Each structure stands twice: as C-alpha cells, then as structure tokens.
Structure 1
Amino acid sequence: MQPLTKLLHFGYQQALSSLFPVIIFLTLAGTKAIQVPGLPRYDLILLVCVMAQIIMVKTGLETKDELKVITLFHIFGLVLELYKVHMGSWAYPDFAYSKIAGVPLYSGFMYASVASYMVQAWRRLDLMIVRWPHAYWTIPLGALIYINFFSHHFVYDIRWVLTGALFVIFLRTMVYFTVDHERFKMPLTLSFFLIGFFIWIAENISTLLDGYRYPNQGDTWELVHIGKISSWFLLVVVSFIIVAQLKRVKGEGFANQPVPHAKDRNM
C-alpha cells in the first residue's frame, strides 16, 4: 500500500499547489452557467481572480514573495495576450469593461496561475535543482523563447531549434522533490513536458468553457491542436527559468551535487 500512499500524498500536494488554477476553472464554469445582471462575464472573472489572490495571501496559502512573482507573470502574460489577439491567434468575443485592445485583464491571471502552481509546488514538495546551468545559458535561452512567440509571425519559427538547445543545456539537470518524507528525482526536461501537457489539457477545458476561442473553434468547439503542447512546453521553460533565477538570488533550492535526504528514487 506504500506506493498508493505516496501517490495520494503527491496528488494532495499537487492539488494544493493548483488551487489558483482550479479557482479559475470553477469561475469559468460558473460564469458560463450563471450570469450576473449588469456585470459582464469577463469582469466578474477578473473580480473573482483578484479576490482569490487577496484571500490566498491573507490566509497564508500564498506568501507575499510568491505574489510578487505571480504579478510579474501576469504582466508578461498580458503583454503576450495583447500581441497574440492583435495578430488573430485567438479572441475574446464577449463584451467587458475591463478589456484593453480586445483583451480582458483577467487573461493575465491564466499565466499567473502557472506561476502560482510553480512557486507553491516548489515550496510544498521541497524542490531541489541539481546541476542548474549557468545564467549565461538559461537567461538568453528564456529570452529567445519568449521573443520567438512574437517574431514567428514575421520570420522563421525557431521553436524546434530552441527545443533542441534546451535539451542540450539541461541534459544533466535533475529535479529532486519530497513526497511524504521520501526523496524522488526526475530529469528537469521531463517535468517541463509533463507540466506543458497538463496545461494543454487545461487549455482545452478553458476553450470549452468559452474562456477564449481559437479561430477554428468559432461556432463548434474543437480540440486544441496537439501541436500547442510544444508552445506550452516552451512557455513552461521560460516560466521556470524566471522562477529559478529568482530562487537562486535568494539562495534557495539549488545544489551542484545531489543532497542526501531519505531515499532517492527515480520517477
């Protein structure tokens, strides 16, 4: 029964770390089914997101430092949304008072929710990154990935070149995490893919609930193209690099060699 106990404990910690994304999904579902007279749906979602953040900080579910990181991601995400909507990649068709250039302000919280998951999972699972590459490699890589989200509309899309580069850069990097006092490890690139895959699933739920729509989802909802996993994979890399560099500044969660703690197991 021990493996099942570990799995349940891991799932519980993941659920706590995903609290903010879950709140967003529940809000999307609730506002799709129930309308508040005089209050546009996107505005209501924005209010719920703001209130959720306030409550999480006040109750200690989220620290003030974590809120700063999440706010930074909200800004990065909103800038990307403004550009992508302008280029016609996707759209927010409903009216809202809180829309800027066709983009509702709540959209930034969808990116912020990814950061919320990362910083909370880091804390709850006691993450330790071993053999993290030098900033000379990680910062330019993260910057190029983010720039490519904008530039590929005009020049060659280099996402696969960047994907190959990150596998080389992070070849020896492992992430250690604790589940019920036992230490596990996996290649960091595998964790990037797994998070990106689950975000793709979340994106399908979001579009199904009319959080936004891709051009091919006009009148009838369709599954988000599986190729979008590569986009989320790269966005996860950018997000993790930012969180990791901030953690390094504070001297938290990094080692050059594995740190003995309970038993190390591969996952």
Structure 2
Amino acid sequence: MTPDRVPFTPLEERIDRWAQRRTSTLATAGGMRRARLVELVVFGLKQAWACVFGAVMLVLLVTARVLYPDDAPLARADALVLAAVAVQVAMLALRLESLREMGVIALFHLVGTAMEVFKTAVGSWAYETDGLLRIGEVPLYTGFMYAAVGSYMVRVMRLFDLRFTRYPPLLATAALAAAIYANFFTHHYLPDARWVLLAAMLLLYGRCAMSLRVHRRAPWRRMPVIAAFLGVAGLLWVAENVGTAAGAWIYPHQRAGWELVPASKFVSWLLLMMVSVVLVTLVHRPRRPERAQ
C-alpha cells in the first residue's frame, strides 16, 4: 500500500475491485459509454454506503414512531439509544468502520450533544420527555444523529480518495468553524452573525476544488467544494423533515401539527458543514491532487 493510499474496509475493497474489473473489461471491448455508466453506478453505491449509518438511524427513528408501542415498559427514546449503540458496535465488530474514524465520530457526538442540551434549554426544539437515558431534555440517541454526519464525512473522504486544489489554510478553517459553532449559542443573546459567517465561508472555500474518483483506476473528476457543501446540506435538510415528521423532535412552529422545516434551517446545515469538515480534517488531512491529474 502506498503511503498516501487511504485504506478501505474489506467490503469497500471488494466494491472497488469489482468496479475496476468491470470498467476495465468494458473499456477494452470498446464500451466506453457502458464503462461510464458503471462508474456512475459505483458512485451511487459508494454514496449510499457512506450514508449507511445515517440511513439506519433514520429508519430507526421512523420505525420507532410507527411501530413501537407507546405503553412499552422500555421508553421509546431509551430503545432508540440502545438500538443506535448496537448498530455502532456491529459496524466496528464487522469491520465496517475503523477505530481511527470512531475518534472523529465520538467528537461529533460531543459537539452535537453539547449544542442539543443548550438548544432544548432555550426552546429551539423539543423531544419527548419519556426515558431515562438522557441529559436534561436531550435523549442520548441525538448524539448518534450528529455521529451519522461524521460517519458520512469520513467515509466519502476515503471512498472517493478526495484531493483538494487551493484548500484554505487549516488555521483559518478552524477559526471560522469555531466562530460558526459559537454563533449557534450566542445568537440567542447577541445579533445573529450567520450571514456574515456564510459570506466568510464562501470567500474561504470559493476557489477550492475537489478531485475525486469512484475507484482507484478511474479518471479523476472535479467539482467545486461549495457545490458539495450545498448538496450535503440539502440532503440533511430533507432528512430533518423526515425526522420531524416521524416525531423524533419538533420545532415550535410544528406543535399544532407537522409543517415543513423552514429554509433557514438549510443555512444552518450549510454552516454546520463547515464545522463538520474541520472535524474530519483531524483524521483525514486534505491532500493535494497528484501531478498526473
């Protein structure tokens, strides 16, 4: 293994080798269009695999709301905590996630839970009040929702061998991430700086491009990092609508009945992407493209 090669889990290695064999066979036979189609399919498969922890959490939230008995001896929120722990243990035991990645995922837990405790205390949103496995108003399964974001981020970094052109200085990204995280707390008492912070993020990452490949012999593809931020933030906003519709938590405007989560939350997720990226760089430092690109 070359020094800069990011290791795959066993399942990811099998997917990658299948993609290499299939595209190589099609390209040799003159089927370049079909080879590109396989590349697109593998891209989708790897994206789905990167989302696996988040998808399982979403299924658990919806299933608990629809099927779990309200009068069960074990509270629904506590059952969700135990199920989330079981999923995380299984992923480690089956070598679907590495111990190194677990470090940054645990950091997502801490960062997310701290914000949840504060936000529920000031009434930004609310959870069911049953269950024992909680901190204040916050059931402990909420930390796993933030961990799902961390799991996705560290996986795409390695699954697509991401490289970055004109990546901003790490000190600057860390300072901006800290300011964004602080604003989630301080805007309740001071003027909301989210639009200033969003402008700073666009300036910082505006020239940054991301190179990726769907398998290790595939050609490199490029896209603006900001476009990736927008795409992931959009998916998180959709997942948030599913979560609130399932009653996992509710916003004040949803107390009389479910309504769509406001678009302002999309901006919040976009800013949280900045914090997420900085946390992930603790495990996977941004690398420059190879000269051959």
Q: What is the identity, as a one-letter code, of the residue corresponding to 1:70?
A: I
Q: Deviations over 1:174-200 (max 9, x none)?
A: 111112422111111111111111100
- Asked whether 1:201 is paired with 2:232, we answer no
Q: Deviations over 1:151-204 (max 9, x none)?
A: 001111111111111111112211111124221111111111111111000000
Q: What is the identity, as a one-letter code, of the residue corresponding to 2:246?
A: L
Contact 2:159 2:214 in 1 (8 A): no
- Asked whether 1:210 is paired with 2:247, we answer yes
Map of 2:92 onto structure 1: 57
Q: What is the identity, as a one-letter code, of the residue corresponding to 1:32?
A: R
Q: What is the identity, as a one-letter code, of the residue corresponding to 2:236?
A: I
Q: How many Å apart are 1:3 and its aligned residue?
A: 4.2
TM-score (structure 2 length as normaliser): 0.84
Question: Which blocks of at least 5 consecutive residues in structure 1 are unaligned?
Answer: none
SS across alignment from 1:133? coil
Residue correspondence of structure 1 range 1-40 to structure 2 within 5 A: 1-35=34-68, 37-40=72-75
Counterparts of 1:183 and 1:45, CA distance in 2: 40
Q: What is the identity, as a one-letter code, of the residue corresponding to 1:203?
A: E
Counterparts of 2:128 and 2:88, CA distance in 1: 26
Map of 1:184 onto structure 2: 221
Q: Deviations over 1:35-61 (max 9, x none)?
A: 252111111111111111111111111
Question: Which blocks of at least 5 consecutive residues in structure 2 are unaligned?
Answer: 1-33
- Asked whether 1:79 is paired with 2:110, we answer no
Aligned counterpart for 2:275 among listed residues 228, 238, 252: 238
Aligned counterpart for 1:247 among listed residues 266, 275, 284: 284
SS across alignment from 2:220? strand
Q: Deviations over 1:199-251 (max 9, x none)?
A: 00000001011110001111311000011100000001111012124322xxx
The structure whose Rg is larger is: 2
Counterparts of 2:150 and 2:36, CA distance in 1: 29
Counterparts of 2:241 and 2:178, CA distance in 1: 27
Map of 1:161 onto structure 2: 196
Q: How many Å apart are 1:260 and its aligned residue?
A: 4.6
Runs of 4+ in structure 1 over 6 Å off: none
SS across alignment from 1:216? helix
The number of residue pairs the alignment matches comes to: 256
Map of 1:98 onto structure 2: 133
User: Identity of counterpart residues, as a percentage?
Assistant: 37
